């Protein structure tokens, strides 16, 4: 009998699937401290997490029977991949299960900051009717710069093109021919920064991409550009972005993710030209069900000696 620990909240569809499977059992224990995790890890063959748990080298080493860590979602920057590999622990994820939800959240924020949706709602709710304060801009004919042209970046592209936007992209791992098939021009980062009206981030956090949005890259952007981030907070130097938004270099930002979450002490919280959401990119009913089901399938397949479909540290 394979025993699985679920240390972050998982969608009910995933739990329902686990109930039907032979040869596995599970326990869901959320909010555990690092010491608490270390103490119980030897009991489990599998670990399912979201963004709330960070299996570091100590936690992974404590899992003497651990065979697989399943990340319900795409980002694995909260997992010590080197430690997992060293201890023979497979890391799997669900890179496409919440992609549509993330793409739609990106467009929602893009529309919101261009048309003052959240701010004008708050004004009307407070009893005001100041239409002249909220004259927005259209997405039509604007240039969208997509940083990270993977699956989600391409879903965002299709939706942006439906609004009549021109899309350019930066991704050193994608060919110009592949981008051209989607009517997208692939540019160098510097050329992208100089040409786009709105930027949207869809990269993972690596040594190359961490804080890639900083004072240097912002200074290469058009005055009055806007930025959307529904990917990872660590892609942005928050202090530099706050300075640019306060000075007027950038017009607005729509942020679903932050460097630390919750974003206590972030200089971006409360700025009048920032719309914030609490990491809702994957928070649709459909995405939650798909993520739960797919991560259970990946983890159980691995525990049964089969090759997982999305093996991160292969």
As a whole number of angstroms, the distance between CA 25 and CA 240 comes to: 47
Q: Annotated catalytic residue: which of 2, 71, 202, 279? A: 279
Q: Annotated catalytic residue: which of 138, 261, 286, 306? A: 261
**Does the annotation mark 232 as catalytic?**
yes
As a whole number of angstroms, the distance between CA 57 and CA 37 comes to: 12
Give the residue carrying structure tokens 């729509």.
Answer: 254
Q: Which two tokens stand for residue 34?
A: 């690092």
Give the residue carrying structure tokens 């399912």.
Answer: 48
- Residue 39's nearest CA partner among 62, 10, 67 is 62
As a whole number of angstroms, the distance between CA 146 and CA 192 comes to: 8
Q: Annotated catalytic residue: which of 50, 154, 202, 232? A: 232
CB 292 within 8 A of CB 299: no
CB 254 within 8 A of CB 231: no
Q: Which two tokens stand for residue 298?
A: 């990946």
Hey, what's the torsion of the CAs at 61, 64, 65, 67, to 10 degrees? 20
User: Does the CA dihedral 105-151-157-194 come out positive or negative?
Assistant: positive
**Does the annotation mark 261 as catalytic?**
yes
**Does the annotation mark 181 as catalytic?**
no
CB 8 within 8 A of CB 53: yes
Catalytic residue numbers read 232, 261, 279
């Amino acid at each position: 009998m394979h025993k699985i620990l679920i240390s972050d909240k998982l969608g009910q569809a995933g739990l329902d699937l686990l109930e039907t499977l032979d040869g596995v059992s599970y326990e869901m224990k959320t909010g555990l401290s690092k010491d608490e995790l270390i103490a119980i890890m030897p009991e489990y063959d599998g670990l399912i997490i979201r963004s709330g748990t960070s299996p570091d080298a100590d936690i992974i080493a404590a899992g003497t029977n651990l065979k697989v860590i399943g990340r319900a979602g795409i980002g694995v920057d909260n997992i010590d991949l080197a430690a997992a590999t060293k201890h023979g622990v497979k890391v799997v994820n669900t890179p496409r299960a919440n992609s549509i939800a993330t793409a739609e959240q990106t467009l929602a924020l893009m529309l919101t900051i261009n048309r003052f949706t959240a701010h004008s709602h708050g004004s009307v709710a407070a009893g005001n009717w100041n239409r002249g304060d909220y004259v927005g801009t259209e997405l039509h004919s604007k240039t969208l710069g997509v940083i990270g042209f993977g699956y989600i970046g391409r879903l965002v592209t299709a939706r942006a093109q439906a609004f009549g936007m021109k899309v350019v992209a930066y991704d050193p791992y994608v060919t110009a021919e592949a981008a051209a098939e989607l009517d997208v021009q692939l540019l160098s980062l510097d050329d992208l920064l100089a040409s786009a009206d709105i930027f949207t981030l869809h990269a993972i956090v690596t040594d190359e991409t961490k804080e890639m949005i900083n004072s240097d890259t912002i200074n290469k952007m058009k005055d009055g550009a806007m930025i959307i981030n529904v990917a990872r907070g660590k892609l942005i130097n928050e202090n530099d972005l706050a300075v640019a938004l306060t000075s007027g270099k950038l017009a607005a930002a729509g942020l679903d993710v932050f460097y630390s979450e919750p974003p206590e002490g972030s200089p971006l919280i409360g700025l009048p030209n920032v719309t914030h959401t609490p990491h809702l990119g994957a928070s649709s009913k459909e995405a939650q069900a798909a993520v739960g089901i797919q991560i259970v399938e990946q983890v159980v397949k691995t525990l049964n000696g089969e090759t997982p479909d999305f093996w991160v540290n292969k």
